[in-house]
Structure 1
């Protein structure tokens, strides 16, 4: 996938994306970070046609998205909305999760099988017959995730996947990210959770004011205080702790922090 000089202006006149050029290779794990209003969600919504560029071109599988219907693009790019209530609509959890596979042409039996497997992955198999609105917000977010997982799209976009999740829920989402990556699928996450981004993604893109300020490995991006300050983004907690301790290194995971500490003893 790639964005070439993409701009997007809302009807109100606000230009949310301003000349972004960016490529994402198959199998990459990319976290896009930045403050509210940075243009993160608007940018990635171009991948499945929810937004169409005001200028520039977006390519999915080397084919421009312009003029292609959302239903066609959804077969390639699964998008998990930040607010699950924008995505869920059926009277049961199972029906919601089955909808995507059925829409892609799966038989009822295959759609049900995929739905149950996806619900098992997110720990909600026991809620298959429940009404989505009877579940908590964190559970509804997991249903929305299952609905996309059941579609088996080569690209999965997660919009603020850890919001409202407890530690176990965050660990589950992290496991899904790694499982998708191990299967060769591309994962893009929009997140304010810098710890989640640092620990689970091999590339971090920093956005502010509709533009890309930095793009690189987590250690390099989170080790650049000037860029982070410009984007009003706080580094991961272990990076902050290491800096307060006067360490030159910037550990991103607990394991890296422990190793750094052991080397200094």
Structure 2
């Protein structure tokens, strides 16, 4: 059984104006990026996966449970959602209390919740800020606090809404590391993002939405090779993929590390022939 089954789902906020149209896919573990321009239906889809919204037609199953028959609160042990804006998520006056709230809410003991919260804050490198008010932190740090709040709950599914917003290079590196660690632990990590470089570096599978419909779904390298289809959705491949194309490389490179390895190999080959 897949962790998530989306079966022919449609949704509209206003009757006759569909936001999602007949979307079907299934997800198990691993990392999945859902991409598309503003208005493509990404955020609506994530809210449906969390049972914050219910489909007007079709069905979504989370671990075999139809979201029409449950609530976001009941799914909290399974699905953790990190909001795009941490100010919409954070409400406690102390960082540690904020990160402990989720674990306590799903039934962890005070001792267990504190232990998991400290571990999550260590993961995002903010354990030294545990006694501070979250709103005394920078926006990038508040984003990391909101991520820690979900990590502390140890859900099977982690959804990250625009996780790299307001992050500098080190912050993005930290989030990449967290995604890789979660995947290694067998979690399903989903992101919705406009950061194609982040997608190329971190996510194994890419789902492309355009005007509420599923346009592409497959391995990241395969999806980013379909430049004509991406262009129709007003999307571009990661910068490193575009750069590699200018060198004559016939495939799709997705990270700086891949590009450096390819360039070194090409140079060594050129030197052997010289």
Q: Which of the five TM-score ranges fits, normalised by the shorter chain?
A: over 0.9
Question: Residues 235 and 82 of structure 1: is their aligned pair in 2 closer, same or farther, counting only changes over 3 Å?
Answer: same
- SS of the residue corresponding to residue 172 of structure 1 reads helix
For residues 163 and 175 of structure 1, the distance between their equivalents in structure 2, rounded to whole angstroms, comes to: 16
1:68-147 to structure 2, matched below 5 A, reads 68-147=70-149
Shift of 1:12: 7.4
Give the aligned partner of residue 226 of structure 2.
224
What's the Cα RMSD here?
A: 1.3
Aligned to 2:54: 52
Per-residue Cα deviation, 1:74-116 (whole angstroms, up to 9, x for no partner)? 1100000001111111111111110100011111111111111
8 Å contact 1:19–1:211 — kept in the other structure?
A: yes
Aligned residues: 264
Say which SS state the counterpart of residue 73 (structure 1) adopts: coil
- Deviation of the 1:210 alpha carbon: 0.9
Aligned to 1:30: 32
In structure 2, the residue corresponding to 1:4 is in which secondary structure? Answer: strand
Whether the aligned pair in 2 keeps the contact of 1:47 and 1:73 (CA below 8 Å) is no
Answering whether residue 242 of structure 2 is matched by residue 215 of structure 1, we say no
Give 1:163's aligned residue. 165
Secondary structure class of the residue paired with 2:48? coil
CA distance in 1, matches of 2:115, 2:258: 40
Deviations 1:198-218 (A, max 9, x none): 111110111111111111111
Secondary structure at 1:242 match in 2: helix
Report the counterpart of residue 5 of structure 1 in structure 2: 8
Question: Which position in structure 2 is the counterpart of 1:19?
Answer: 22
Partner of 1:117, secondary structure, is helix
Q: How far is the alpha carbon of 1:251 from its aligned partner?
A: 1.1
Deviation at 1:15, TM superposition (A): 2.0
TM-score for the superposition, normalised by structure 1: 0.96
Counterpart in 1 of 2:243? 241
Unmatched tracts of structure 1, length 5 or more: none
Q: Gapped runs of 5+ residues in structure 2?
A: none
What TM-score results when the alignment is normalised by the length of structure 2?
0.93
Q: Secondary structure at the match of 1:250?
A: coil
**Structure 2 Cα separation of the partners of residues 5 and 68 of structure 1:** 19
